[in-house]
Amino acid sequence: MYKFDVQHIRLGISACLLGGKVRFDGGHKRSVYCSNELARYFQFVPVCPEMAIGLGAPRPSIRQVQFAEQIRIQNVKGELDVTDELQRYCQQKVATLDFLSGYILCAKSPTCGMERVTVYKAGTNNGSKSGVGVLAAALQQQWPQLPIEEEGRLNDLHIRENFFTRVYAYHDWQMLQQSGVSRHKLTDFHARYKYLLLAHCPKLYRELGPLLADASLPEAAVAERYFVTFMAALRHQASRNNHTSALQHIQGYFKKSLSKQQKAELSQAIMDYRNGLKPLLVPLTLINHYLQEFPSPYISRQVYLNPHPQELKLRYAY
């Protein structure tokens, strides 16, 4: 079973979320969850584009303004335009962040907002929540598979679990790349993620096997296509029905080992989960218990059973 190294994984984060007094009013938006909980498991890389281009704090607030042909980043009065400086910095900075395994952004910010950033009509205070922050857009363009989330959305337990599942999977892929990708390693990687992929998106899981078996494609092309589809599958939130299917597949590996009573106990635990009577941790705990008694190397290596450290308490939502 995979062992997680504390603070081995590096996450980008909006500097204000760690308590940095970098906001336009000289304040911060410190996140207790990020600062107190996540800091024990990740090494944060704080970034504030507005400070980086020399705006200082406090400073005039800036916003996205829609002109006929483009969106500009200006202060409220319009005499300060930092569009070019911000875009240049964000593109250059993001290009150096290939070591990150995820990014947590501050919502609504004209530089960091992942979505629903207010874009004002030029010369008015009328706006629509249709924008994307300059840094967020650069991240999505440069590293399209990188897990990115806004801090506030992490209050949703399903979004939180999905985000960190992708962070740990992304990091696992980075480790594979560093060791040198081969078809054998790709096949082994895919085998370890079988049931996690089934829990998230069975359709895309079924596309990955034939891709790995396609001998007509160069190894590098297979790896690239695999990773794109792999991350797309994990972006789907795991459903109760898909979790049930994954659990039942795993259950099949114990059919020759468990007693009649143990089989009934595991089946009941899975059905109780499917019917919403018990949390996902109940059948998972039972499976892990049976693995201690009846070892199965193939099942023990399944990332599904241990996609992130238990101490993060991410599976409490299911």
| CA 306 – CA 294 distance, rounded (Å) | 18
What is the per-residue pLDDT for 4?
62
- The pLDDT tens digits of the residues spanning 164-173 come to 999 999 999 9
Sheet containing strand 148-150, edge to edge, reads 42-47, 9-14, 102-105, 148-150
Domains of the chain by residue range: 9-155, 156-318
Query: In this predicted model, which residue has the larger pLDDT, 257 or 316?
Result: 257
How much is the pLDDT for 123? 87
Checking if the pLDDT of 5 tops 80, the result is no
* Residue pointed to by tokens 């979505």: 115
User: Which residue matches tokens 């979320």?
Assistant: 17
Nearest-angstrom CA–CA distance, 194 and 302: 7
Handedness of CA 224, 230, 234, 235 (dihedral sign): positive
What predicted TM-score, i.e. pTM, was given to this entire model? Answer: 0.94
Q: How confident is the model at residue 235 (pLDDT cuts 50, 70, 90)?
A: very high
Those residues with Cβ within 8 angstroms of residue 92's Cβ, 6 or more apart along the chain or in another chain: none
Q: What is the chain's alpha carbon radius of gyration, rounded to the nearest angstrom?
A: 23
